[in-house]
Structure 1
Amino acid sequence: MKLLLTGAVFAGMFAPALADDKPTIEIMSSWTSGGEAAALDIIKTEFEKRGGVWKDSSIAGFGAADAAFQNRIVAGDPPGAKQGVIGLAAADFVGQGLFNPIDDVAAAGKWADALPKSIYDLISYDGKVYLAPTGAHGESWLFYSKEAFARAGIVEEPKTWDEFFAGLDKLKAAGIVPVAWGGQPWQQTKVFNMILLSQVGIDGFLKIYVDKDKSEASIEGIKKTLDIFGKLRGYVDDGAAGRNWNDATAMLITAKAGVQFMGDWAKGEFTVAGKEAGKDYGCMIVPESPGMVYIADSLWFPKTGDAGADKAQKLLAEVVMDPAIQVEFSLKKGSVPMRADVDKSKLDVCAQKGLELMTADNVVPDQAILLTPQQVGLLDDFVDEYWSGGSNDMASAAENFFAIFE
Structure 2
Amino acid sequence: MKNTMKLLVVGAALAAASVPAHAEDKAKAEVMTSWTSGGEAAALDVIKQEFEKRGGVWKDSSIAGFGAADAAFQNRLVAGDPPAAKQAVIGLANADFVSQGLLNPIDDIAKAGKWAEVLPKSIHDLIAFNGQTYLSPTGAHGESWVFYSKDAFAKIGLSEEPKSWDEFFVALDKLKAAGIQPVAWGGQSWQESKVFNMILLTQVGIDGFLKIYVDKDKGDASVEGVKKTLDILGKLRAYVDEGAPGRNWNDATAIVITGKAGVQFMGDWAKGEFVAAGKQLGKDYGCMLAPQSPGMVYVADSFSFPKIADAASQKGQVLLAEVAMDPIVQVAFSLKKGSVPMRTDVDKSKLDTCAQKGLELMGAGKIVPDQALILSPQQAGALNDFVDEFWSNPSEDSAAGARKFFAIFE
* TM-score (structure 2 length as normaliser): 0.97
Residues 82 and 300 of structure 1 are in contact (CA less than 8 Å); yes or no, is this contact kept in structure 2? yes
Deviation at 1:6, TM superposition (A): 4.8
**For 2:80, what is the secondary structure of its paired residue?**
coil
Alignment partner of 1:343 is 2:347: yes
Residues 294 and 366 of structure 1 are in contact (CA less than 8 Å); yes or no, is this contact kept in structure 2? yes
Cα deviation digits, residues 215-265 of structure 1 (max 9, x gap): 000000000000000000000111111100000000111000000000000
Q: 2: CA distance between counterparts of 1:394 and 1:49?
A: 54
Q: 2: CA distance between counterparts of 1:381 and 1:395?
A: 17
Deviation at 1:307, TM superposition (A): 2.7
Q: 2: CA distance between counterparts of 1:182 and 1:244?
A: 6
Deviation at 1:17, TM superposition (A): 2.6
Q: 2: CA distance between counterparts of 1:15 and 1:126?
A: 40
Match of 1:217 in 2: 221
Match of 1:165 in 2: 169
Alignment partner of 1:386 is 2:390: yes
Q: Aligned runs of 1:266-285 on 2, under 5 Å?
A: 266-285=270-289
1:299 paired residue among 277, 297, 303: 303
Deviation at 1:5, TM superposition (A): 6.4
Q: 2: CA distance between counterparts of 1:13 and 1:103?
A: 34
Deviation at 1:4, TM superposition (A): 6.4
**For 1:294, what is the secondary structure of its paired residue?**
strand
In the alignment, residue 231 of structure 2 is paired with which amino acid?
A: D
- Comparing 81-90 with 10-19, which one deviates more in the overlay? 10-19
In the alignment, residue 167 of structure 1 is paired with which amino acid?
A: A
In the alignment, residue 335 of structure 1 is paired with which amino acid?
A: S
Q: How many residues align?
A: 406
Deviation at 1:25, TM superposition (A): 1.2
Q: 2: CA distance between counterparts of 1:4 and 1:151?
A: 78
% identity of equivalent residues: 75
Deviation at 1:19, TM superposition (A): 2.2
**For 1:164, what is the secondary structure of its paired residue?**
helix
Residues 154 and 170 of structure 1 are in contact (CA less than 8 Å); yes or no, is this contact kept in structure 2? no
In the alignment, residue 376 of structure 1 is paired with which amino acid?
A: A
Q: Aligned runs of 1:4-403 on 2, under 5 Å?
A: 6-403=10-407
Q: After the TM superposition, which segments of 4 or more aligned residues of structure 1 sit over 4 Å from their partners?
A: 1-9
**For 2:158, what is the secondary structure of its paired residue?**
coil
Residues 34 and 66 of structure 2 are in contact (CA less than 8 Å); yes or no, is this contact kept in structure 1? yes
Residues 40 and 272 of structure 2 are in contact (CA less than 8 Å); yes or no, is this contact kept in structure 1? yes
CA RMSD for the aligned pairs? Answer: 1.2
Q: 2: CA distance between counterparts of 1:198 and 1:237?
A: 25
Structure 2 gap segments, 5+ residues each: none
Residues 234 and 394 of structure 2 are in contact (CA less than 8 Å); yes or no, is this contact kept in structure 1? no
Q: 2: CA distance between counterparts of 1:88 and 1:96?
A: 14
**For 2:349, what is the secondary structure of its paired residue?**
helix
**For 1:284, what is the secondary structure of its paired residue?**
strand
Cα deviation digits, residues 30-53 of structure 1 (max 9, x gap): 000000011101111111111111
In the alignment, residue 101 of structure 2 is paired with which amino acid?
A: G
Cα deviation digits, residues 84-104 of structure 1 (max 9, x gap): 100111122111111111111
